[in-house]
Each structure stands twice: as structure tokens, then as C-alpha cells.
A and B are shown apart, each in its own frame.
Chain A
Amino acid sequence: MTPSTRAEGACKNRKEELVQIGQPDPRAYWKSLEQLHGGQKPSAEFAKGLPSAAVTRTDDTRRDFLSLMGFTVAAAGLAACRAPVQQAIPMLVGSDQIVPGVSSWYATTCGGCPSSCSLLVKQRDGRPIKIEGNDRSVLFGGGTCATGQATVLSLYDGERLRGPAWKGQSADWRQIDRHVSESLAAAERSNREIVLLSGTITSPSMLEIVTDWSKRYSNFRHVVYDAISLSAMRAANEKSFGRKLIPHYWFDKARVIVGIEADFLGTWLSPVEFARQYAASRKPENGSSLHVQFEPGLSVTGSNADVRVPVAPSNLGAVAVALLRRIAQKAGMAGFPEGPEPLADSKKLDAVSEELWRHRGASLVVSGVQDESVQVVVNALNAFLGNIGKTVDTARPSLQRSGDDAAMAELVERMNRGEVHTLMLHGVNPGYDYADAGRFLQGLEKVTLSISFSDRRDETSSHAHVICPDHHFLEAWGDAEPVESHFSLAQPLIAPLFNTRAAQESLLMWLGNDTSHYSYLRSFWQKNMFPHQKEAASFDAFWDRSLQDGVVDFPAKSAAPAASFHGDWRAAASGIIDRQKQQPASREDSYELHLYESVAMRDGRSANNPWLLELPDPITKVTWANFAAVSPQLAQRLSLSNGDVIALKTENARAELPVFIQPGQENRTIALAVGYGRKQVGKAGNNVGQNVYPLAQVSNGFRRLSALNIALEKTGRRVDLAGTQTHFSMEGRPIALETTLADLSKESAAGEEHKATPTLWTEQPQGEHSWGMSIDMNACTGCSACVIACQAENNVPVVGKDQVQRVRIMHWIRIDHYYRGSEDNPVSLHQPMMCQHCGHAPCETVCPVLATTTSSEGINQQVYNRCVGTRYCANNCPYKVRRFNWYNYTENPKFDFNMNSPLGRLVLNPDVVVRTRGVMEKCSLCVQRIQLAKNIALQGKRELVDGDIKSACQQSCPTQAIAFGDLKDPNSRVSQLMKSQRYYQVLEELGTRPNVGYLKKVRGSAVI
């Protein structure tokens, strides 16, 4: 690989090091498959992509200049002096797959969480650099989530293990295989168990390997453990429908959606898919569905609901029961146990049940409460409403969560009793996230051989005897079946960066099967998938097409009719009522806890990903920490202010977190995000926030994400939270506008189209196109996938907590969150905000050096190399979307995130300049994508068509809230949307004439 930049000295040497392949030097990375195989070197000029791109270059210019500052007449002679010699090293043997400088796209499956979304990954010069959704997937439809977008950075995580380790010492695979085989033989002879403890496995081929193991070893057991499990739901569904399953939901078919503490738009089960369905059901053109959410803390889902009711965790079951009581009455079911009304305002429940009943068969009740009885009640609700088989699909269930809390608890006990000989840990970290992590680790001590497939020394693997680091999913083959009969393939985008091995391959190896994982996968598909299809004649053709598409869908395995509900809902309901009655009257000083997955951190597995650490929480906009969300009322009563650290105590755990005053928070409940406070994940994520998993209470064998009777005390300490937005009121300004369904229909009658503000100036000459964007605030859920997508696409640096606190976040797109209404339960609005590409841009007029001007195609273009950094443009930008490079964020040890390491810089997009310090930057409407699309059109000798260009944010959006296109093309989607009655431009009264417009948020009919 060539140092294409004019890099000298240390910088160059480092790159030279990178060039050395196969050296033991840990910094010697692959840059491409070809490099690894066959000793071919991909060619030269990776201009900007390589580490230290523009930065060194501009420095050189400066160096040239400074060297001439001291000139006299000799300046002329000096001008002849040369910049450092650059070398270009072509491949020895050309490849028809890799043309330097041309990106290719491969379909694969996301390994960021068990939702297993289908992806298309951009590979450039042998490196995956951008994750995008695979729009051929019928489930996920091309959207992604923030976590998925960020997984590409995890690939280049410097904390990943460079190779396998045996008892803390690095070892080679052969050694390890010998040790493990010996140990397994011993295990077989003993009467102790061999256990594979894994997270949810959606891969059918891997499950086949697990089956092979159970066949081979009689004492083998597979235990599935999810940190955030839906174990109770599975158990309840076994009781209700006779099968341990998680149903697959169809939010798009529901006209009334009732959520009882399930953040299905943010984190719950399969958020990308659900967000997509949800947006479809919420289209105002079709008369939006009604969404009612009962939840303790304000979640992304709750912030989108038409009606949101704050309910304490202990009361959620009662709400479900109260709803069921009403529905049962309507359905004519007798014998419903009597109980108190859970809400002060019982009319609300009447209205909700009325709506549900009115939309029988087209409604949906979901709950994430980890309680069997509640889930049975919810199942009963859906059953009585006739939703089973319609919006609740049990015939083709979701396989995205299969954790079993009880089995895990049992395993821990067995381990402690010394009944486990060999324990293999795959995709789990119970040493961090298990409710009683101490007990688990104690048990681990008693295991004869513990093997972890973790990619790093984490809280669990550091206690294991062997670490056999698994590939990152972008380096690995694989498949997934997120929903029954919907398959998604995974293929490697890069040769393994380190001496890692697919866990599947290790498992096969220890079974004595030395086929590669790839051939195992292929033969598995040949055996199990190929026969079910008819299109392809040969398996090779089928395989190639499947690999190219990334997804294969088969009809449901069993054409069984919708499962009938036969759960004992009466018992479940009375159980809940009894529990409610038994509950001690809540004391003044005891509170409830609500634990939730944050959009950025989820269960904590990506905790070393600086992009995610710096992703503002969609609701609170806090980065780099978790916090205790308390209601304004409680804060006032306890005189707490943002940042005051409080201690929360359960019977056996205690956590201290800073307070964040959260409007809409249930008054007696304190909400905490799990996934933070990891101790052994890496330098970026270690000790960020607090681990609150130990606070979770276990009831009836299920770990609930809540706790009762929490003691709260003030510590007197303060921790300043790093929020990217500190003011959540619009102050009565017309910024994020909303309308109602009723008004909308009235307006359509009036039929008034948006008109540009008048101007005194003559129109400037325009080119062939006029790029514009339209953002549907009704579709935007605030999920923040676009933020990370933009960061990945545009080489946006991570700046760290301190800089965020100093209001210096660099994100080009932010999602503004505003509240309206009362503090106790306000209405939320999410407004993505990026450069509005004003036709009459205030920033341009004030730039002294013409570093920012309007292009002939309507883009507000920022030229970094011309910018001198007066920041005048940022001051004069009414949208405050310009971002200044306060420091050098690349190759600066003070910002020790991905851009400070040669490995981390591999993620940079070579088509976008890495900005040096002192220059202004901002959204460019992904101009590199526009140019690329134009060039592709040129290569294809055709005109650009609508949809050729998708901005990174648009591509990632699961709800298609963002439309980008040519405003001059009257048929483009964006032009069509501009004609919408809901179209408006933010602050258009200033005469800025933005090319980015918004569609107003629509509030549902005010039935409730």
C-alpha cells in the first residue's frame, strides 16, 4: 500500500509499516483481500483514504509557505525545491475485482445485534467503509439503525485481540485446538457437562453446528442468554399458543397500536423493521394510525405516540389488565377478576379500548414487560381483538430473541456446583451484564475449561482460560434467519485483519470436522435451502444469486393457520391484580426503577465504539454517559438539578448516577440506561457511565428491567452531563411545525402550495440540476441512524465528552428534539437539522475568502482548503449547522478515538477530505455521491434519474423520512413532496430560501 499523501518522517514510516504484510507487528493490517491472498499489492493512489489525508497535505502547503517566509531574493531559487517524493506501488498481478479507487458493494447481514438486518456494505480498495441497508430485504427494506451503521467502526477497533490466547498468553491456533480437543475428550469421559452459552443465534447454519455438537457429545447443552431477553414472552407464548416463540409483528397493518413499555422504534426486538412498518401505518395521506404508549420513561417510541401515558413499571401490568377487562366485556367474555383502576383517569383507558375494539383485527398491543402474566394478558388482548394472524404473526415467528432466563439461572447454579466441565461463551458477556455477575464469575472459576469467542478481553473473557477471538461479522461468512423463512446471507468484506477465526470454524474443528466454515455453510445451504426453490437450476447459480441479493425468502415452513389462543388469561389477570394488592403502599421515599436500552449503547456490546458513545440520545441528547432520568416534579421535590449525582439502592446493588430532569418521566420512577459502565471494553468505552444491570430485579425467574422499592439519596457530588442540546422548548418560535389530520384535510380543500419567499434579487444562473431535500417530520422517529450514517460517510470526527460539553460536537446532521405542552407529559417533536443549503445563504455573504458559495446546482458548497476559519459563517447561520474544527481531530493524541490510530483511520471515506483544524465544515448533501452518480451515469451514457443519488442519511433512514433529489425534475420524489400541503421551510421568513424543506408533523385525531 502506498503512502499517497505527501507524508514525511514518522508519518511515512508508519505507513511503510502498514505496507509490510504478514509481519508480527500488531500494527500491520490488511488493506485488502488481495493483499492477504497471493501477495498481490493493490495499486497506489488511495489518495484521501489513507491515514492522514488532507491534513498532512495542507500542512505541506503551509510548510512550503513558511519556508519561504524568510526569503530574500533567493525565493526564486527556493521555488524549485521539491515536496517529498511520493511513491506509487501497483499490484503485481492485476485483479478484475479490484480497481483502485472504485467502490464495490456486497450484501451481508448485520452482526450488531440479534435483529440480523440485511446490509449492503461499501468496500473500497479492499476495506469496508460504509454500512447501508439492503433494500431487497422485504423485512428491513434498506434501513439501518445507528448501531448497525456504527458496526463498521467496530471492525477497526484497536482493542480487538490480535490472535488467540491461552491462559492469558497469546498462542497459536494449533496449540489451542490441541488443548481444547484434549480437554473435550476429558469432558466426555467425565460426567460433567459441555455447555455452549451463546446469545441469540439467528444463523441456521450455526444452529446446525450446535445440533452436530449435541449429536457428538451426549453431555452437551446449549444455553441461550440475552442480556435483554424476551424470555417471559416466550414462556407466556408457550402457555398461550403452545409454542415458545416471539411473534412477528406487523405494525403497518395496525390502525391502532398500543405499546405497553416496548420501545419498538428504538431498541426493542427489531427496531429497523418496526420503524419501517410504523411509518407506513402513520402516513397521514392514508389517515394515520393511532398510537398509544404506556411507559415509565420517555422512549423514542413514546415520543412518537399520539397519546403517551406515563405509568410506573409496577403498574404496567394493571394497565394491561384494565384494558383486557374492557375488551373482554366487549367480547362478551365473562369471569373477569375485579381489580382497581390503574390510572387516575380511567376514561383514557375507556377510549383506548374503544378504539382498539373499533379496529378489531387491525390493531396491535405489544408489551416488553418481562412478566409472564402480563404477556399472557397481552396475548389475550390481541386474541380477543382478532389480531392473531393479522398483526401478530405466530406462524412465521421472529427468531431474533431466544434467550432463556431460567436456563441461564440454572446454568449458573450448575457451574457453581461444579457440574460444568467445559463452557464455551459465544456473543455473551455475563460477567458484565448478568444480574448477578459475581455469582456467574464464581461459577466460571469452577469450570475446568472455559472458552470465550469474544473479540477482546472483556469482563467475562478475561476470566476464561481460552480466548478464541471470532471474526468481526464483516470478515466472516454466515447466514441468518431473523424471521422464520426469511434468510439473509453474510459474506466477508475484508480478509481478517487479525489472526482470528470464525467461531463456527472453531466449533467445527473441535468436533473433528476440518471443513472450512465457508464450505460448511455452502453445503448447509445446498442441503437445506436449495431444494426449497425453483428459480435456479444449479446450486451454484442459486448460491451466487443469493449471495448477490443477500436475502432469500421462502414461504412459511408450516402453512399452519394462526395459532389459537388458549392461555389462562383469567388467572394471569388475577395474578397481576393480587400482586398489585400485595404490594406495600408505596412510601414517600421509595421509588421504582426502569431500566432501558439506549439507542446508542443497546445492551452494551458496542460500548467501545466512539461513534455510538458520542451519539446523542434521541430523547435527552446526552452523550458519553448514562444518567438517572427523573421527572421535573420529583426533581423539584428533592431539589435536584441536572448533573447532581444520586445514589440508587436496591437490596443488593447500588449505583450512583447524575440526574437528568426528563419531562414526561413517570413521577415515582427513575429511568436508567443499561449498556454503560463497562470496565473492560477498550479505552474509549471503559468507565463511561455506570453499569446498572445489577439493579435489575428478578421475579419469577425472569430478569425484569425494573425494580421496586428503591432508596434514593443525594451524594452532593456533581457530574456535568455532555448534552448536545440543552434547551428543549421552541420558545413559541415557528420552527418544527405540526398540523392535525383534521386541519390537513381542510387545507387540502383550500389547496395552497408552498411558495418561495419573494426576493429583490434576480435569480442566479442555474445548472442542469437543483438538488434539494425534503424531510418528513411525521415519519422521523428520532432513531438517529442518519447521524451515524453521515458520520461514517463524511469522515466526521469524534471529539469526546469534554468537547461535547463545550458545545463542539461535529455531527453534520443532528436531530433536534423539542417538547410542547406540560412538563409532566409533553408532546415531542423530532426535527433532523443539517445545512439547509439556502439559495440566499447568509453564511456565504459574510465569508471573506469565498470559501462558501452556492453551486450552480443549488448546493451550499464549503471549500475546506480555502477556508481560513473566521467562523463568521457559523455565527450568521440561523440554523447553527456549521461545524468548526476547533482542534486537529486526526492524528492528535488528545482525541484518542478512531482517527488517532492507523487502524481506526481505515474506516475513512477516501472520497471525502479529512478536514484539518481551523476550517469550517458542514453537510454537503453528500456531494461525493452526487459526483459519483453523475460519473456512473456518464459511464453508462445515460442521464441521471431520480433515485440514482441517495444521501447517506436518506439511505440509512428506516422510515424513508428523508427524500433527496432534483428539484428541477418535476417528477422526482422530492419535487412531489414539495407540493405537499405539509411542506414548509424552517425560518423561511428570513429569506434564506433553503433547498431543504420539511413536512409538518401530523397529530392524530384527538379522540383521546
Chain B
Amino acid sequence: MPPVPKNFLVATFLDQNSLLQAVRAVRDRGFRIFDVYAPYPIHNLDGEMGIRRTRLPWVTLGAGGAALIFALLMQFYTAIWDWPLNVGGKPANSTLAFVPITFELTVLIGGLSTVAALFLRARLFPGKRESPMLHGVTDNTFALVLRIRDDSFDAHLARLLLEQSGVTGVEEKAGEL
């Protein structure tokens, strides 16, 4: 079996501040951070890492809007157009009475679509296997991962930078993330 090329440089930290330092350090030197793994969301990290704000809320808006239109049309269609029955003498178009269901369907479909979109976007699905490279990131460890892409990647410099910022271990690892 040929040796698998080591394609990731994984630096682990035990505290948030060291991690932040390391992130700043490697970013300052032009490294592109593949990702950071943490047991909880670190709120000021996104900017440091250069992550753009997610567009998922647009999914909510779109799905919710579609659901709203669907709900209204469904109710108009069934109650007014398809079979208008005389219910308590009320007009077939009892629009006010259609509001609650319209709202509920908007929320339901909007919400579920957002969650589904998140799972799709973040490629989360039931049974997906965890990566053995990231031991402890769900407990107390923070991991900064750089991708070793080609020769232009200065692994030495990266290591140096990381070791200067309170890292507990730096390792080159192979695998999928």
C-alpha cells in the first residue's frame, strides 16, 4: 500500500485565545485557512478567518414566500374556486380566516427549508462519519487546519507560526475533511 500523501496540517490548541492568535498569525502571512474546528462557535473568528456572511436567510425568505403564496392559493382554490360551500352563510372568500393557516405554513416551510438548506450546504447528513484527524474538537480542543495543496505551501513557515502561538501539537495528516 503506497503511503497516503499527508494533505492537511492540523494544529491543535487548548484555549480560544491561542487559537485566535494563531489564526491571525497565519492569515497575516498569507496562508489560507482551510477551516477551524472548535467545540463552540467563536464569535469573532469569522472575520479573522475571512468567512463571508452566509446567504442561508435568503433560503428562508424564498421558501417562506413560496409557502405563503402556496397557502393562500390553496385556500383560495379550495374554498372559493373548487367547491364553494355555504358555511354558516359566510362569504366563500373569508380571507381573514385564511390568515392563520397562511402564517403557519409560511413558518413551517420557511423553517424546514432553512434547516434543510443548512444540512445541504454544510454537507451534514445522518450517518456521515467523523474525521479521525480532529480528535477532541467536540470536547475541549480547538483545531486550525491548513491544507497542504502543492509545493507553494510553505509547511515549515506554517509550523513555525503556529508553534509560536501556543499550539499543543502540529501534525501533518492525511484524510478527508
Contact = CB atoms under 8 A, between A and B. Distances in A.
Contacts of B86: 764-765, 844, 853-856
Interface in B110-152: none
Chain A residues touching B, range = 20 to 34
B57 interface: no
Dominant secondary structure of chain B at its interface with chain A? loop
Max chain A Cβ within 10 angstroms of own Cβ: one of B85, B86, B90? B86
Interface in B84-101: 85-91
Interface in A748-807: 759, 761-762, 764-765
Contacts of A838: 88-89
A399 interface: no
Nearest to A854: B86
A855 B86 CA distance: 7
Contacts of B90: 761, 840, 845
B91 A854 contact: no
Contacts of B91: 761-762, 764
A839 interface: yes
Interface of A: 759, 761-762, 764-765, 838-845, 847, 850, 853-856, 993
Contacts of A854: 86-89
Interface of B: 85-91
A841 B88 contact: yes
B88 A759 contact: no
A838 B89 CA distance: 9
Contacts, number: 38
Max chain A Cβ within 10 angstroms of own Cβ: one of B86, B88, B89? B88
B89 A993 contact: yes
Sorted nearest first, the 6 A-B pairs with minimum C-beta distance are A840-B89, A844-B88, A845-B88, A854-B86, A764-B86, A853-B85
B85 A850 contact: yes
Max chain A Cβ within 10 angstroms of own Cβ: one of B85, B89, B90? B89
Contacts of B89: 759, 761, 764, 838-841, 854, 993
Contacts of A850: 85, 87
Max chain B Cβ within 10 angstroms of own Cβ: one of A764, A765, A841? A764
A1004 to B, nearest CB: 39
B85 to A, nearest CB: 5
Nearest to B97: A845
Contacts of A761: 89-91
Nearest to B92: A764
A764 B92 CA distance: 9
A79 B87 CA distance: 34
B165 to A, nearest CB: 58
B88 A842 contact: yes
A762 B84 CA distance: 14
Nearest to B89: A840
A845 B85 CA distance: 11
Nearest to A842: B88
10 contacts: A761-B91, A764-B89, A838-B89, A841-B89, A842-B88, A845-B88, A850-B87, A854-B87, A854-B89, A856-B86
Contacts of A855: 86
Contacts of B87: 844-845, 847, 850, 853-854
A844 B90 CA distance: 10
Contacts of A762: 91
Contacts of B88: 838, 840-845, 854
A924 to B, nearest CB: 16
Nearest to A991: B89
A845 B88 CA distance: 5
Max chain B Cβ within 10 angstroms of own Cβ: one of A838, A841, A855? A841
Given A764-B86, A845-B88, 18 more contacts: A759-B89, A761-B89, A761-B90, A761-B91, A765-B86, A838-B88, A840-B88, A840-B89, A841-B88, A844-B87, A844-B88, A847-B87, A850-B85, A853-B86, A854-B88, A855-B86, A856-B86, A993-B89
